């Protein structure tokens, strides 16, 4: 699953939180496992060896929980939702990041691989469908919550997106 879809799904999970800062923390927690994707800068071999290993396990989950607890205002709910979106990311990767690409959740203390024999390819119709639904729901947020996933990067841009979508779909109020 792409990092954008991970972000969208995480942002949707963050909607019970009243404060933007807490929603951003939960959204980032759901994308954080893909930090190990930066190993691509070391070449395809490094990426193949370290992606799904360095930040797709319990040490990164613990760090994510601590960061959410320390930086949030609604500490308990933000931390729990942050841990939820972190693990939702892993679940989505188990489903749809490609056959034969396991996660090493217990690395570095164990080399046990987690995988599912039915994993679908990154470019599969399943991932495309999930991505389209997630994007539609994030855009519908303009009508429901008067915000969209764009709030993660810019309040000003989010306000413009919300205005445009509300004008287009004639949402009053």
Q: For 93-144, what is each residue's pLDDT tens digit?
A: 999 888 888 899 999 999 999 888 899 998 999 999 999 999 999 999 999 9
In the prediction, which pLDDT does 170 show? 77
Residue 84 C-alpha from the chain's centroid: 10
Distance, in Å, from the CA atom of 22 to the CA atom of 37, rounded to the nearest integer, reads 24
- Asked if 143 and 165 touch (Cβ cutoff 8 Å), the reply is yes
Phi, psi for 121 (deg, rounded to 5): -65, 155
Burial 14-34, CB ≥16 within 10 A → b, else e: beebeeeebbbbbbbbbbbbb
What would you measure as the largest C-alpha separation in the chain, in angstroms? Answer: 55
User: What's the pLDDT at 172?
Assistant: 63
pTM for this predicted structure: 0.94
Q: Contact, 4 vs 89, CB < 8 A? A: no
- Predicted confidence (pLDDT) at residue 154 exceeds the cutoff of 80: yes
Domain ranges of the chain: 3-168
What is the per-residue pLDDT for 75? Answer: 97
Instruction: Tell me what the mean pLDDT of segment 8-24 comes to.
Output: 98
Q: Is 103 helix (H, G, I), strand (E, B) or coil?
A: strand
Total Cβ atoms within 10 A of residue 122: 13
With a cut of 70, say whether residue 171 has pLDDT above it.
Answer: no
Q: How big is the chain, counted in residues?
A: 173
Reported as half-sphere exposure (CB side, CA atoms, 13 A), residue 6 has a value of 27
- What average pLDDT does this structure show over 156-172? 90
pLDDT digits (tens, 9 = 90+) for 38-94: 999 999 999 888 888 999 999 999 999 999 999 999 999 999 999 999 999 999 999
């Amino acid at each position: 699953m792409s990092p954008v879809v991970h972000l969208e799904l995480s942002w949707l999970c963050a909607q019970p939180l009243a404060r933007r800062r807490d929603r951003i923390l939960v959204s980032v927690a759901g994308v954080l496992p893909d930090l190990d994707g930066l190993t691509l800068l070391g070449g395809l071999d490094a990426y193949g060896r370290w992606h799904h290993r360095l930040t797709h396990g319990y040490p990164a989950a613990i760090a994510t929980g601590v960061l959410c607890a320390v930086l949030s205002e609604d500490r308990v709910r933000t931390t729990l939702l942050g841990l939820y979106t972190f693990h939702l990311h892993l679940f989505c990767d188990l489903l749809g990041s490609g056959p034969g690409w396991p996660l090493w959740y217990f690395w570095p203390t164990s080399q046990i691989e987690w995988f599912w024999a039915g994993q679908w390819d990154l470019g599969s119709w399943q991932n495309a469908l999930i991505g389209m639904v997630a994007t539609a729901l994030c855009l519908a947020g303009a009508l429901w919550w008067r915000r969209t996933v764009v709030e993660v990067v810019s309040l000003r841009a989010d306000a413009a997106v919300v205005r445009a979508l509300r004008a287009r779909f004639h949402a009053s109020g």
